[in-house]
Chains A and B, each alone.
Chain A
Amino acid sequence: MLQLSEMPLRASELIKALEKRSAGAGGLVTFTGQVRPEAKSGSVSSLFLQAYSPMTENGIESAIAEAQCRWPLTAVSVAHRIGEMLPGDTIVFVGTASAHRRAAFEAADFLMDYLKTEAIFWKRESTSSGTNWIEPRAEDYSDASRWTEHK
């Protein structure tokens, strides 16, 4: 299940919905990412995230399908905020459910790496020293490459 939202994301509600869909899964892993208050260039006043529909959604759906192929998951939930947001706002939520703890952890980690490096989003940060478009850091790519070595 995938949701891109211009409205605030509420992790507690997303967890509840996932719990309902995955009743009896055994294990449920959720990750919530929040907008950081500090960036390299100073205090963050706001963050703007741009997507390109339907390419953004199609790419994330493919990553979810790949996760479901690689791990025995009973439910997956991905929600991503787009548009303008403030420090502390929830920007991303990933939830995975499985009978096996390790599968749920690994699939959530895999999906987060996809969302950080390959998902079609452009990010613009406004800080005390101005407004900048942010492009991936080297460690984001090395995190994501962990998953291709085993293919």
Chain B
Amino acid sequence: MTKLLYFGRLSDITGSAEETLTLPQDVSTAGELRAYLDLRFEAGGALLEPTVRIAVNNELCFDDMSLAGAEEIAFMPPVGGG
């Protein structure tokens, strides 16, 4: 099981800020997880935006990052603001 966190406005789309999930067999990278979740939540691309960064086990990563050993994955929209 992997803990998924959705920060800021993303939690309005996913309906919760946190969930645990068994990653599907065909999801092995951060980018594949993005695509899978965007469809699952019918997010219309909100999770695919390049400004939404992904952190795996508290480290920011690129989309080609393997999710092997991922315990906590966070989806982080742009931070800060006024």
Q: Give A contacts to B, CB under 8 Å.
A: 50, 52, 54-55, 58, 115-124, 133-137, 140
Contacts and interface: CB of A to CB of B under 8 A. Distances in A.
Which of B8, B12, B74, B81 counts the most chain A CB atoms within 10 A?
B81
Interface residues of B, number: 15
A118 B76 CA distance: 12
B61 to A, nearest CB: 12
A122 B82 contact: no
Nearest to B53: A120
A55 B81 contact: no
A117 B9 CA distance: 17
A58 B58 CA distance: 10
A52 B9 CA distance: 14
Dominant SS at the B interface?
loop
Interface of B: 5, 7-9, 12, 55, 58, 74, 76-82
A135 B77 CA distance: 9
B80 A121 contact: yes
A123 B82 contact: yes
A28 to B, nearest CB: 26
13 contacts: A50-B7, A50-B8, A120-B76, A121-B79, A123-B82, A133-B9, A133-B12, A133-B77, A134-B81, A135-B8, A135-B77, A136-B78, A136-B79
Contacts of A124: 8
Nearest to A122: B8
Which of B12, B74, B82 counts the most chain A CB atoms within 10 A?
B82
Contacts of A116: 80-82
